[in-house]
């Protein structure tokens, strides 16, 4: 298997699926709709819907019920990026190699675009109830989506991150932020895939642990790339954490230890993956690829 070719093929497929759930740019609120679509279509790795899809396939899933959830998870992720980039948060001008939403459409419209995407995500995920109205797994998947992205997930983690700007963080506090702000969304992606495919309780729990390790590896690598990455490759400005006086994994543990921990989290994710009764070689390679990514 050529991983890069497979990755390109699968990401292209996922982009097509997501595009099918985006709004038409018409009506008096057309500018808002344009801002939503601009934010969703500027690029990105589509990691979360990809992890969801591949977990679903690994457990034998084969229906279209996964599609609205794939689109929804990317909408929620994009909502978080729009708000992260705002002047009140990280104040970034570039994202995925393009001007950020607030730079193109203004701060007020960017806030509304983020809000709109969060609402659109749940509206989109709810379409799965129409596809399989008698499938109880749909309700459970919807609950996971809501829990992992709200007060006790992504938004909860972001709140602590914002509160401690210009203030030192302990390693425990930093882990809490990363566990909620980044890992929870990846956990939910993989858990939803497993639940919708009919995985057992034990398997879903293990998949959640895999997602947590992947999420931690991903966020720590983000911190590393902010220090040593290339602006053009990343598609955004590096050194922003230092500029914003943010405590990061690198600033707490040092670059060398951060790099070691990325490898350790990724290897633990693969170890847990190999304990499952089913397998997906592409998913395994995708997780390992996080160690070496440069964007």
Averaged confidence pLDDT in the chain: 92
Q: Measuring CA to CA, which residue among 55, 65, 123 is closest to residue 273?
A: 55
- The more confidently predicted of residues 232 and 195 is 195
Question: 10 Å Cβ neighbour count for 210?
Answer: 27
pLDDT above 70 coverage of the chain, percent? 94
Q: pLDDT tens-digit profile of 64-105?
A: 999 999 999 999 999 999 999 999 988 889 887 889 999 999
For residues 92 and 243, is the Cβ–Cβ distance under 8 A? no
- For the cut 80, the answer to whether the pLDDT of residue 292 exceeds it is no
Q: Measuring CA to CA, which residue among 185, 186, 216, 190 is closest to residue 203?
A: 190
Task: Give the residue-averaged pLDDT of 139-146.
Answer: 98
Pairing of strands 94-95, 98-99: antiparallel
Q: pLDDT tens-digit profile of 203-241?
A: 999 999 999 999 999 999 999 998 887 666 555 555 666
Q: pLDDT tens-digit profile of 170-186?
A: 889 999 999 999 999 99
Q: What is each CA distance from 188 to 27, 37, 46, 138, 196, in whole angstroms?
A: 34, 24, 14, 13, 12
Q: Identify the pLDDT of residue 276.
A: 96
Architecture of domain 3-292 in CATH?
Orthogonal Bundle (1.10)
Q: pLDDT tens-digit profile of 18-41?
A: 999 999 999 999 999 999 999 999
Per-domain residue ranges of the chain: 3-292
Q: Identify the pLDDT of residue 238.
A: 58
CB proximity list for 216: less than 8 A, separation 6 or greater = 178, 179, 182, 183, 261, 265
């Amino acid at each position: 298997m050529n991983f890069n070719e497979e990755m390109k093929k699968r990401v292209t497929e996922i982009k097509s699926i997501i595009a099918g759930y985006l709004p038409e740019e018409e009506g008096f609120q057309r500018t808002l709709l344009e801002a939503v679509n601009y934010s969703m279509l500027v690029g990105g790795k589509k990691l979360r819907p990809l992890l969801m899809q591949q977990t679903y396939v690994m457990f034998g899933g084969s229906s279209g019920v996964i599609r609205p959830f794939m689109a929804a998870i990317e909408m929620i992720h994009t909502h978080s990026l729009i708000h992260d980039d705002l002047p009140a948060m990280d104040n970034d001008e570039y994202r995925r190699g393009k001007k950020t939403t607030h730079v193109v459409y203004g701060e007020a419209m960017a806030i509304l675009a983020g809000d709109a995407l969060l609402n659109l995500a749940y509206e989109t995920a709810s379409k799965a109830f129409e596809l399989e109205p008698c499938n109880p797994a749909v309700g459970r998947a919807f609950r996971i989506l809501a829990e992992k992205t709200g007060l006790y997930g992504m938004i909860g983690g972001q709140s602590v991150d914002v509160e401690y700007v210009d203030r030192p963080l302990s390693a425990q506090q930093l882990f809490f932020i990363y566990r909620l702000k980044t890992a929870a969304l990846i956990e939910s992606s993989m858990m939803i895939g497993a639940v919708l495919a009919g995985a057992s309780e034990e398997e879903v729990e293990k998949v959640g642990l895999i997602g947590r390790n992947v999420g931690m590896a991903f966020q720590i690598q983000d911190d590393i790339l902010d220090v040593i990455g290339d602006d053009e490759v990343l598609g955004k400005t590096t050194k922003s954490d230092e500029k914003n006086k943010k405590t990061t994994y690198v600033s707490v543990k040092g670059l060398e230890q951060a790099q070691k921990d990325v490898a350790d989290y990724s290897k633990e994710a693969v170890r847990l993956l190999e304990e499952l009764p089913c397998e997906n070689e592409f998913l395994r390679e995708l997780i390992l690829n996080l160690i070496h990514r440069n964007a």
